[in-house]
Structure 1
Amino acid sequence: MSNADDRVRLGVVGLGFMGQTHAANAEAFGHDVVAGADLVAETRTEFAETYDARTYEEFAEMYDGENLDAVAVSTPNTYHEGAVVAALDRGYDVFCEKPLADDLASAERIADAAAEAEGFCAVNFHNRVATAPAVFTDYRDDGYFGEVTHVDANYVRRRGIPGVGSWFTSEDLAGGGAVVDIGVHAIDFALYLMGYPDVEEVFAVTRTEFGRREDYVDPGDWYDETEDAVFDVEDSATAMIRCADDRTVSLEVTWAANQAETNDFVVRGTEAGAELELGGEALTLYRSGTQGTDHNLDATLTEGSIDHTGWEGSDRRFLEAVAAGSPHGLGTVDQALTVQRVMDAIYRSAERGTSVSID
């Protein structure tokens, strides 16, 4: 930190929706958005006017020209490595959007750079920052569930393919489709609820059933196809993830499906279980007992909430960590690398038609 009053001097790389979100949250929490970098001139102009910040076409120019404490990286996935590693090399603390990178090799290079860096790198798994997972993990750490053995993880959109022709539907820019966009959240959340066990094996099937259909029905106007749009990624995936000690995750991820939307996560433990939504507030605990008579007991969270959830909460935690000089409680690069390995295994398994091991 360069400022005695704990005001973080933040630079933002990638000034689209998430870059604007990081900047707005930083200002709301009393920090200084001093600069931003983006390849698009119009986006730079809008950012400069909104935040009274200097802007640059290249992130390296911003890094060299500004006195920063931290950097938020929210570019398309394929550009994460360059922006993150260059920031770490200069000693900045970094908040990287999920996933860590567009492929495993790039993610491993980021992890190597983070291990040698003076600053820290955190990854924005914002769905952890909510009431239900906060209550769940405290119960888990107190031993309420016994051993958590299985998580049924669902992130299912009925119709929710991002704008076709945007970087989300381009393998070159994103590294994948639904798995990389929303599956990354579901994988992290499931492993987080389990306490991040080692992952050993993955079996998966990926599908492209909707994204290329001319008769695709989209009442929510997500599709937004542009001329000469590229759609060369999957729009759904089903996977079984086997972890150490035969703990398992069953994963269902879709951008589009002919079923009701769901973000439900069902957790099974040897002493109790739970149901909660990805990044949500509702939590139900399931237990059986013999007190009085054999019975089943369901407990529902009815009151209580944590301050600042989702993107707002994750930004606040990152900025507080920068000010304190400690990344405690944030999504780590090691965890993000585990998620990247799972995503890589999903694609390898789908291509081979067999289960694959994770080294």
Structure 2
Amino acid sequence: MTDEYGPVRTGIVGLGNIGRHHADRLVDLDVPLVGGMDVAPEARTRFADRYGVDVYENHHDLYDAVDAVVITTPNKFHEEYAVDALERDLHVLLEKPVAHTLESAERITDAADDAAGTFRIGFNNRFLNAVRLVKNRIERGEFGEITHVEANYVRRRGVPSRGSWFTRREVSGGGALIDLGVHAIDLSMFLLGYPDVTEVSGVTRSEFGAREDYAYLEMWGPDNGPGAFDVDDSASAFVRCAGDRTISLEVAWATNRPATHEFVVRGTEAAARFDLLEGDLEVYTAGADGPDHMLDTTVETRENDTHADEQAAFFDAIGSDRDAVADIEDAMTVQRIIDGIYRSSETGGTVTPGDPET
């Protein structure tokens, strides 16, 4: 893989946990990691010590040294770093979501439309082997027409570090919906074939994160209490698409119920259930050939590193017409759905994504 990816000098913007996660996989892929950028001195020092590369406080200095960047900053800062990279015609892999607001995401899209570099959004769950297998069977027609996806990404107690950027709306743009829901919505739309969205209805809730007695059991980062928590910690939504294809969505950082990461993909000829984190996969069919019967099949797949496979697809796409990683149009559809769910919750009614008048 060195020969294949060697010429693409790559840097990381945002050197926190997810930045280092991406950096480790770049090293494993033999992509030349040549630098990193972060506004925090301690993050730069830690990154330089770990990878032995140059680090920068100013992203323009990093951009002078690279051909591609992976952007992993808090959502509010995606626009600044992505637009500047696109205007330099760098290749950009931007962690989800596109931005913290729909308006900011639209400005990134405008820059991407004028850019020569490859630009992709980091929806890594598309690369889970169970998802790949289901998508392959759908494309082969084995599931018939896909009509509905039940999407669950629910933690029992998993609010990210309270007081971090994740729990401050000004920086994140939202809570569990924009953090976990963005993955669940993309995956559901991906398996449906990204049909046109006609309407969304949803409710977002904040029931746990702002409580003094929140049971903070285990999650990354320290718990700094409820003082800086002003986002949703769960959301329930329904998305209606063209052809009466639908998505039911449940996402949560915290709930009083067992955690679940189960997706159910319903088709006219077969259905599938898989666990997004564990990769377990079952396929359900019924038949009238011979005695009427139902058939449940357990499918074993190899465990895979979805971020590594996502990166490999991104670098494969550079200089080609391949669209193995989510493009900006798909990501903007997800952003509009999320914006629509938030507006639906505020207004108490159904809205049309992307239509500010509803």
TM-score if structure 1 supplies the norm length? 0.94
Given the alignment of the two structures, is residue 16 of structure 1 paired with residue 16 of structure 2, yes or no?
yes
Offset at 1:75? 0.3
Given the alignment of the two structures, is residue 351 of structure 1 paired with residue 346 of structure 2, yes or no?
yes
Tell me which of the two structures has the higher relative contact order, counting C-alpha pairs closer than 8 angstroms and 6 or more residues apart: 1
Match of 1:312 among 285, 308, 313: 308
Aligned to 1:36: 36
CA distance in 1, matches of 2:13, 2:264: 36
Indicate the larger mover: 235-244 or 216-225.
Answer: 216-225
Aligned to 1:263: 261
Aligned to 1:295: 293
Gaps of 5+ in 2: none
Look up the equivalent residue of 1:226 and give its one-letter code.
N
C-alpha contact (below 8 Å) 1:93/1:119 kept by paired residues: yes
The 5 Å alignment of 1:175-324 reads 175-221=173-219, 224-226=222-224, 229-278=227-276, 280-302=278-300, 304-305=301-302, 308-322=304-318, 324=319
State the secondary structure of the residue aligned to 1:356. Answer: coil
Aligned to 2:91: 93
Offset at 1:196? 1.2
Offset at 1:195? 1.2
Q: How many residues align?
A: 352
State the secondary structure of the residue aligned to 2:148. Answer: strand
C-alpha contact (below 8 Å) 2:12/2:19 kept by paired residues: yes
TM-score if structure 2 supplies the norm length? 0.94
CA distance in 2, matches of 1:76, 1:250: 28
When residues 10 and 77 of structure 1 are mapped into structure 2, their CA distance, relative to the original with a 3 A threshold, is: same
C-alpha contact (below 8 Å) 1:94/1:119 kept by paired residues: yes
C-alpha contact (below 8 Å) 1:111/1:333 kept by paired residues: yes
When residues 96 and 185 of structure 1 are mapped into structure 2, their CA distance, relative to the original with a 3 A threshold, is: same
State the secondary structure of the residue aligned to 1:180. Answer: helix
Offset at 1:99? 0.4
Given the alignment of the two structures, is residue 80 of structure 1 paired with residue 78 of structure 2, yes or no?
yes
Given the alignment of the two structures, is residue 150 of structure 1 paired with residue 148 of structure 2, yes or no?
yes
CA distance in 2, matches of 1:148, 1:263: 20
Look up the equivalent residue of 1:6 and give its one-letter code.
Y
Offset at 1:341? 0.3
Given the alignment of the two structures, is residue 115 of structure 1 paired with residue 110 of structure 2, yes or no?
no
Indicate the larger mover: 197-206 or 312-321.
Answer: 312-321
CA distance in 2, matches of 1:13, 1:270: 44
When residues 45 and 326 of structure 1 are mapped into structure 2, their CA distance, relative to the original with a 3 A threshold, is: farther
Aligned to 2:5: 6
Q: Deviations over 1:253-300 (max 9, x none)?
A: 110000000000111111111111225422111111111111111111
Aligned to 1:132: 130
Aligned to 1:336: 331
Offset at 1:319? 2.7
Q: Deviations over 1:35-87 (max 9, x none)?
A: 11100011111111221211111212221x31x12100000000001101111
CA distance in 1, matches of 2:161, 2:3: 44
C-alpha contact (below 8 Å) 2:5/2:30 kept by paired residues: no
When residues 247 and 5 of structure 1 are mapped into structure 2, their CA distance, relative to the original with a 3 A threshold, is: closer
Gaps of 5+ in 1: none
CA distance in 1, matches of 2:146, 2:40: 47
Look up the equivalent residue of 1:135 and give its one-letter code.
L
C-alpha contact (below 8 Å) 2:121/2:331 kept by paired residues: yes
When residues 223 and 60 of structure 1 are mapped into structure 2, their CA distance, relative to the original with a 3 A threshold, is: closer
C-alpha contact (below 8 Å) 1:26/1:319 kept by paired residues: no
State the secondary structure of the residue aligned to 2:343. Answer: helix
C-alpha contact (below 8 Å) 2:209/2:226 kept by paired residues: no
C-alpha contact (below 8 Å) 2:339/2:353 kept by paired residues: no
When residues 187 and 56 of structure 1 are mapped into structure 2, their CA distance, relative to the original with a 3 A threshold, is: same
Aligned to 2:169: 171
CA distance in 1, matches of 2:211, 2:85: 41
CA distance in 2, matches of 1:136, 1:329: 16
State the secondary structure of the residue aligned to 1:19. Answer: helix
Identity score, percent: 45
What root-mean-square deviation, in Å, do the aligned CA atoms of Structure 1 and Structure 2 show?
A: 1.7
Offset at 1:161? 0.1
CA distance in 2, matches of 1:44, 1:23: 13
